[in-house]
A and B are shown apart, each in its own frame.
With several copies, the nearest count.
Chain A
């Protein structure tokens, strides 16, 4: 199933794109598994997503932990800790 991935801040810069559409395998069911799957595609993605401790995520625009489910999700965002205000 197609999933839109959004990247923000330095994650976007390192990935080289702001957004992409992917079709991960059915056994990829959590955010953490999705990050592993994205990182395993090629060396550049692997490097961009290497710093897992500083990655945060949102599923369908709601902030979630890395163990959150992505089953049925349409949009997943990956980004560093927020620094607004």
Chain B
């Protein structure tokens, strides 16, 4: 089961975990949640995206993971619009019969998402907004999955 969702509303982990755990054959679920760091001086974070292209890119990432690790479920939920410190930006989950596949696929989902999906972060600190710069480490993290 592939689940892709991009929306302005808060991410509901209870629902997402229920879906991930409920996939056929699931003995292991690995998840990653990204949050607006509450102590980083950021007052608000705003996420912009490329509607249509975003969902297609996320679906490709999830389908690649599901095929590579024979997942029962691959979930990517990403929030857009303004959000406050402590709120969830992204949630990914991988469900598999055993843990190695779930853990690896989860890392793959978030690493690929960081480089392959058209989202842009703008943060406001001390009343000043600036676009977040891409990190070199993100490309390296995504590249390690190419083999």
Count class of interface residues, chain A: 10 to 19
Residue A9 lies at the interface, judged by CB distance under 8 Å to chain B: yes
Residue B52 lies at the interface, judged by CB distance under 8 Å to chain A: yes
Residue B121 lies at the interface, judged by CB distance under 8 Å to chain A: yes
11 contacts between A and B (CB under 8 A): A9-B48, A79-B50, A80-B120, A82-B115, A82-B119, A83-B120, A83-B121, A84-B47, A84-B119, A85-B78, A85-B89
Residue A6 lies at the interface, judged by CB distance under 8 Å to chain B: yes
- Identify the closest chain B residue to A18 (Cβ): B48
The CA-CA distance from A85 to B134 in the complex, in Å, is 11
Residue B143 lies at the interface, judged by CB distance under 8 Å to chain A: no
The CA-CA distance from A83 to B118 in the complex, in Å, is 8
- Identify the closest chain A residue to B116 (Cβ): A63
Residues of B in contact (CB 8 Å), total 28
Q: Which of A61, A62, A77 has the most CB of B within 10 A?
A: A61
Q: Which residues of B contact A (CB under 8 A)?
A: 34, 47-50, 52-53, 56-57, 78, 89-90, 99, 110, 113-122, 131-134
Residue A37 lies at the interface, judged by CB distance under 8 Å to chain B: no
Q: Which residues of the other chain, A, contact B110 by a CB distance below 8 angstroms?
A: 85
Check if A83 sits within 8 Å of B133, measured CB to CB.
yes
Q: Which residues of the other chain, A, contact B57 by a CB distance below 8 angstroms?
A: 63
The CA-CA distance from A83 to B119 in the complex, in Å, is 6
Q: Evaluate whether A85 and B34 lie within 8 angstroms (CB atoms) in the complex, with A58-B118, A63-B57, A79-B118 already known.
A: yes
How near does chain B come to A41, taking the closest CB pair, in angstroms?
23
> Which residue from B56, B99, B131 sits with its C-beta under 8 Å from A10?
B131
Check if B114 sits within 8 Å of A84, measured CB to CB.
yes
Q: Which residues of the other chain, A, contact B53 by a CB distance below 8 angstroms?
A: 58, 61-62, 77
The CA-CA distance from A5 to B122 in the complex, in Å, is 22
Check if B56 sits within 8 Å of A82, measured CB to CB.
no
How near does chain A come to B29, taking the closest CB pair, in angstroms?
13
- Identify the closest chain B residue to A77 (Cβ): B50
The CA-CA distance from A82 to B139 in the complex, in Å, is 10
